[in-house]
Amino acid sequence: MDGGVTVITNPMVSVRLTSTLSSFEVIRRFNRGITIADLKNKLEIVIGTPASCMDMQLFSVSDKFLQNLEDSEALLGSYPVDDDCRIHVIDRSGAQTGAFTNLSEVEKYEISEGAYEKRTDSVRAFMKKQKVGRFNEKEMAQREAEQAQREAEENAAAAAIAVGSRCKVHVPGQPTKLGTVMYVGTTEFKPGPWVGVKYDEPLGKHDGSVNGKRYFECQPKYGAFVKPLSVTVGDFPEENFGLDEM
């Protein structure tokens, strides 16, 4: 042995790629033995710029400009290219920035309802064949029956609730609250019967008005609307929270 030192360099290098056509950064690995001309050809697919319309700049790992990659016959490894350095491609084809990510001008495929109904390879055709969702007549009939029963129960419960009654409200997943019934009837924000309640504590969502329409009066954060089946009317005296004590 002659005591010399042999330096082995990884033939592959991982670089970050950016371009004037996109705000995205991608990472690719290249052989250091590739020529700059061949590198441009490979980048056509990645960047979307013709090789003949590319200018390339090399930046360090800390994004400090190093030099232009101008010599088409030079090897990539002849430049100070290290892992995580950046190669920036400047497009000279005249394409606009973001042209490959802007879908506003892309012609969209459309199909008529009649033509879609006749297709045998569509999601709708699959659902029909498997009797899934709205194409399962038995399941849909059961859902409609359950919905009708629920609506009948809600209407019956609403009819038994009088404005001014003391009540207890229990909504699944929430603590039980005490309050006074202020409104019973339909609303503009959702279908079906609703009960407007003024809580004894500021545990509500509004002051009796929703989307600009007033249904009853109360202090802010004391009012709420709940479904009739969540309301139990009874002798529920208002709790004394010690507000009058010194």
CA-nearest of 177, 125, 184, 183 to 159 is 184
* The pLDDT value given to residue 127: 83
**CATH code, 159-233:** 2.30.30.190
Dihedral over alpha carbons 67, 68, 71, 74 (to 10 degrees): 50
Average pLDDT per block of 10 residues along the chain, 246 residues long = 54 92 87 94 88 93 93 93 93 67 66 87 85 83 90 94 96 92 95 96 95 95 96 86 50
Q: CA 67, CA 57: separation in Å to the nearest integer?
A: 6
What pLDDT, on the 0 to 100 scale, is given for residue 7? 47
Tell me how far apart the alpha carbons of residues 114 and 50 are, in angstroms, rounded to a whole number.
42
- DSSP 8-state symbol, 43: H
Q: What is the pTM of this model?
A: 0.47
pLDDT at 6: 47
Domain spans in the chain, listed from the N-terminal domain onward: 12-91, 159-233
pLDDT of residue 138: 85
What CATH number belongs to 12-91?
A: 3.10.20.90
